[in-house]
Amino acid sequence: MRRVAIALVLFLALAHPRDALAQTARDLVGQGVRAYRALEYDAAVALLKRSLSEDAVGTLSTAERAQALTYLGATELFRGRRDSAALAFSDVVLLDPRYRPDELIFPPQVTNLFQEVRQATKTVALSVPPVTELRARGDRFTARVFTSSLAEVAVTLARDDGTPVRELYTGPVADSLAVTWDGFTASGTPAPSGRYILRVAPRTEAANAPPARQVTLDIDQRAADTLPWPPAPTSPALLPERTPAGPAVRSLAAGVVAAAAVIALPSIIARNSGGNDARFAVGAAVGAAGVVGFITQRPGRPLVQNVRANAPQRDAWMKRVEAVKAENANRRATLRIVIRAEPLATAERAGSSP
């Protein structure tokens, strides 16, 4: 019954392609795996190829695509088509050099052929985090380089216009390698904001050398945020440091007004010339009284005990101010570098150009 059902699925997929297109790529992979396990190899090949085609509905992840290709290679091998099997395994290696067939699922003849193909297929892959933020000197941006076999590579960073920025690594990679970058150029200055190309390429141009791979990085150099000033201590936390102010200004104003009135109204004092001298004398006396009132009733005097009691709070506030000054100076001297990898750039697709 299982073979009949699988044959029916295959017939429908071939006879009614529009109905087959309605199935998702993931569904087709599942049906192809079941056909492989049921030893229906012709049906398995048709379903798996359909899942990998460009017109399949939905997108397979890298792991799902590697799984489909591995089952396709195993199926072709058992159909006696070794070259087709090797081609499928080569696509797996190009897609992800880290991938290995599960030895609990696939027999030795499958895994052995896969290893032969992997050693013969020269390729590298590049994996970077989507976002990295460098906040201090010790922070690092880390990229991982993967190879299918021993390869001599150079990992470089350049501006998007090709201007070299820094060589990060040059040498052999047998399986994988972590390459780090501190955010500085070859001249020792922080990398300015802009678009950069991180590239891993073979050191030699041999015929079997792996193709170069690269990822675009958007680098944003930012100044660190500064801290606000601490609020100054105020009442009621602080004790009053002066006595209440007296009516000094009012005393002075009243004396000046009274003196002016005496001088300006001669009829009140006298009408003869002697009266002039008298009214000036009286006006001067009234004005002097206002000045005396201003001096004797000057604003509040310092309260020494309260000033001393407030001193620890003021000292603590000044220490906080100095600490903020020092921290802000450090922050202004330290730049944050935010590195963003472009979408879908953590590992290039198989067959894509570098």
Q: Which residue, among 156, 231, 237, has the nearest Cα to 197 in the 3D structure?
A: 156
> Who wins on pLDDT, 179 or 245?
179
Q: What is the pLDDT of residues 244-256, one digit of tens each?
A: 755 555 554 555 5
User: Per residue in 32-42, pLDDT tens?
Assistant: 999 999 999 99
Listed in order, the ranges of the chain carrying CATH 1.25.40.10 are 2-120
Question: pLDDT value at position 68?
Answer: 95
Q: What is the mean pLDDT of residues 161-188?
A: 92
Start-end of CATH 2.60.40.4070 domains in the chain: 124-222+337-341
What span, in angstroms and rounded, lies between the C-alpha atoms of 351 and 344? 15
What residues pair up with 138 in beta bridges, in sequence order? none
**Stretch among 11-15, 80-84, 147-151, 347-351 having the lowest mean pLDDT:** 347-351
The CATH code of the domain at 2-120 is 1.25.40.10
Q: Is the pLDDT of residue 269 over 80?
A: no
Question: Residue 281 pLDDT > 90, yes or no?
Answer: no
Query: Taking Cα atoms as reference points, which of 201, 205, 141, 173 lies closest to residue 348?
Result: 201
Helix (H, G, I), strand (E, B) or coil at 206: coil
CATH number corresponding to 124-222+337-341: 2.60.40.4070
Position 235, amino acid: S
Q: What is the pLDDT of residues 87-139, one digit of tens each?
A: 999 999 988 888 999 999 999 999 999 999 998 888 888 889 999 998 877 88
Task: Report CA 239 to chain centroid distance, whole Å.
Answer: 48
